[in-house]
Structure 1
């Protein structure tokens, strides 16, 4: 199992909209091959900061299966405009 970790910094004033939009995006990621589970956690100390944790069966399920899919384009359109700066994504065993 691979754990994808992303610290998401959201533009000022749009956190509530981001959270609502993420609810729609959850259906996309959870339908992907190799997806196991995910959590989105809101930071207590920083208003516009979130931690996204996604468990995948393999690194390829995330990097190739998801990121090169048509579904990823929809995910990207839904969420990427909220980030500032764009998050660094790391993977852990």
Structure 2
């Protein structure tokens, strides 16, 4: 299992729109091969910052299978215009 971790900073004032569109976008990521589960957490100190955690079976399920799919294009269309700056995404494994 690989954990994708993304810190999402949303353009100030767009949080409600982002949260609405995120709910729609969830159908695309959850339909991808190798997807296990995900969660989105909102920062207490910064009202426009979130952390996205996604569990994948393998790194390639995220970086290749999902990122090169039509499902990702829909995810991107719904969410990517909210980010400023664009998020850093890192992957972690259990030891």
Deviation >2 Å, runs of 4+:
none
- Aligned residue in 2 for 1:63: 63
In 1, the alpha carbon distance for the partners of 2:26 and 2:72 equals 12
Q: TM-score, normalised by structure 2?
A: 0.97
1:8-55 CA-to-partner distances (Å, cap 9, x unmatched) read 000010001100000000010001000000000000000100000000
Root-mean-square deviation over aligned CA pairs: 0.4
State the number of aligned residues.
93
Distance 1:3 1:21 in 2: 23
Q: Which runs of 5+ in 2 are unaligned?
A: none
TM-score by length of 1: 0.99
Residue 70 of structure 1, CA deviation: 1.0
Tell me, what secondary structure is at the counterpart of 2:75?
helix
Query: Counterparts of 2:31 and 2:75 in 1: how far apart (Å)?
Result: 12
**Contiguous gaps of at least 5 residues in structure 1:** none
